[in-house]
Amino acid sequence: MRIVACTEGSFGKIEPFSLEMITAARMAGAAGDEVVAFFAGQDPEPAVTSLGAADRLVAASAGNTQLIAAESYARLLADTVAAEEPGLVLVPYSANGLDVAGDLAARTGWPLVSYVNEISRDGDWLAVVAQVYGGKILAECSVPLPAILMVNPGAFAEAERRAVDPSKLQHSDATPVVAEGKVRLVGVEVPNYDGVDLTTAERIVCVGRGIGDEASIDIARGLADILGAEIAGSRPVVDSGWLPKVRQVGKSGQKVKPKLYLALGVSGAPEHLEGMSKSDLIIAVNTDPKAPIFNVAHFGATCDLFDLVANLSERLQTGR
Ligand SMILES: Cc1cc2nc3c(=O)[nH]c(=O)nc-3n(C[C@H](O)[C@H](O)[C@H](O)COP(=O)(O)OP(=O)(O)OC[C@H]3O[C@@H](n4cnc5c(N)ncnc54)[C@H](O)[C@@H]3O)c2cc1C
């Protein structure tokens, strides 16, 4: 069987989850299966220098656009699927993948399972574990092949980053497909990080909706100051305007890997875990013992965050 692993990259970089898709493809594959990485973007170079762990790379590029819209990516992928006739297509759960996976399922009529964390092969079927309700429930699914899986970033380890052998590269010009697309790129705005760089922070105290209100963030900020940590927030905290966007962790925020990540009142939705699950040490505080954040936490406390922050701050200050 052939497995197509979709990959993404822009501004000279490959998304790390691209390498995870190759690992996921190997997990789903059997001996003799071929893993084909698919890439569409402005510049094929980051894919060519990184995705050598796949057996082949099919890359389409359009040098005249900074980003390829999901509509065009999906068209290019559909052409590749028609040519390669894979038994399985893996799409990352990304902003692009959300549009692309549904498009491909509609075109092919193949089953699509989203939020996939685990994959194993059972003959002509796959056994898949997928998250539902923000990770509170894990669904075990049997999926007949051919199929499409949308895989959670962070669920699989990254495959080794190495260059693609030139004989294994098939490159095409995506410019005509992009030109025919109805979705046009108007511009790219790079966020103003204002001196805040969570991606290099060694310690982060992250507040979730459990913090309750904007004023209470000062309590967590006090603990962050004592720990020499940056303060960060989940998306609802940022959407509420309690912290600036540059301090958001997750799928649509920063991807962080500090030595210490203290999560206060964060439930641990897949979109949040995507940004922090690779932290060296994760400590979670949540009143709900079933909160999915505890699935990735090294240590956890099921108590009121305000009690814990007050006690911990006092002990750290008094040294007792
Ligand atoms: C395309 C897309 C992109 C997204 N991108 C992001 C992203 O980048 N980052 C992100 O965070 N989310 C993102 N989300 C949203 C994500 O799905 C969740 O909705 C969000 O992460 C939930 O935030 P939360 O954990 O703060 O809130 P909730 O899920 O409401 O969790 C609050 C938690 O606080 C606990 N709690 C309440 N009171 C206390 C207390 N006193 N003490 C201790 N614990 C308490 C509760 O038990 C609960 O578990 C995205 C969603 C989509 C669809």
What mean pLDDT comes out for the span 209-214? 98
- State the complex-level ipTM: 0.99
Indicate the pLDDT class of residue 196, thresholds 50, 70 and 90. Answer: confident
Q: Which of 275, 44, 23 has its CA nearest to residue 159?
A: 23
Q: Of 240, 245, 272, which is best to mutate to test ligand 1, by the most ligand atoms within 8 angstroms of its C-beta?
A: 272
What pLDDT, on a 0 to 100 scale, did the predictor assign at position 191?
A: 74
Report the residue among 266, 274, 303, 311 best suited for mutation to probe ligand 1: largest number of ligand atoms under 8 A from its CB.
Answer: 266
pLDDT of residue 187: 87
Give the start-to-end residue ranges of the domains of the chain. 2-180, 198-318
Question: What's the rounded mean pLDDT across residues 237-251?
Answer: 95
pLDDT 10s digits, 169-191: 999 999 999 999 999 888 888 77
- Give the CA distances from residue 257 to residues 16, 94, 153, 198, 207, in Å, rounded to whole numbers and listed in that order: 13, 19, 14, 9, 16
Quick check: 28 and 121 in contact, CB under 8 A? yes
pLDDT at 314: 94
Contact 292 CB / ligand 1 (< 6 Å) = no
| Ligand 1 centroid, distance to 123 Cα (angstroms) | 38
For domain 2-180, the CATH class is alpha beta
Statement: 198-318 belongs to CATH 3.40.50.1220 = yes
What angle is formed at CA 114 by the lines to CA 113 and CA 117, rounded to 5 degrees? 100
Identical fold, 2-180 and 198-318: yes
Mean predicted confidence (pLDDT) in 237-247: 96
Measuring from atom 53 of ligand 1, which residue has the nearest CA?
271
Q: Is the CB of 272 under 6 A from ligand 1?
A: yes
Could you tell me which of 312, 50, 292 has the C-alpha nearest to residue 276? 292
Give the Cα separation of 244 and 277 in Å (integer).
22
The CA 142 to ligand 1 mean position distance, Å, reads 29
Checking if the pLDDT of 236 tops 80, the result is yes
pLDDT at 102: 98
The answer, yes or no, to whether any atom of ligand 1 lies below 6 A from the CB of 269, is: yes
Q: Is the CB of 274 under 6 A from ligand 1?
A: no
Average pLDDT, the chain: 95
pLDDT per position as a tens digit, 53-107 = 999 999 999 988 889 999 999 999 999 999 999 999 999 999 999 999 999 999 9
Which of these, 245, 279, 250, 254, lies nearest to 266 by C-alpha position?
A: 250
Atom of ligand 1 nearest to the CA of 95: 1
> How much distance in Å is there from the Cα of 260 to the middle of ligand 1?
19
In angstroms, the CA 204 to CA 24 distance is 30
Residue 251 CA to ligand 1 centre (angstroms):
12
* Residue 111 in this model has a pLDDT that exceeds 80: yes
Output the pLDDT for position 52.
98
Rounded alpha-carbon distances, angstroms, from residue 196 to 6, 141, 213, 218: 32, 42, 22, 18
Q: Angle, to 10 degrees, between the axis of helix 305-318 and the axis of helix 217-227?
A: 30
Q: What is the pLDDT of residue 185?
A: 87
pLDDT at 136: 81
Which two three-digit tokens encode residue 133? 């309700």
Q: If you measure from the C-alpha of residue 136 to the centroid of ligand 1, how many angstroms do you get, rounded to a whole number?
A: 12
Does 299 score more than 80 pLDDT?
yes
pLDDT, average across residues 273-285: 95
Which region, left, alpha or beta, applies to residue 123 given φ > 0 means left and ψ of -120 to 50 means alpha?
left
Average pLDDT over residues 120-143: 92
Percent of the chain with pLDDT over 70: 100
Distance 208 CA to ligand 1 centre (A): 6
Provide the pLDDT for residue 193: 75
- Residue 45: the pLDDT is 96
Closest residue CA from atom 27 of ligand 1: 209
pLDDT the model gives residue 194: 75
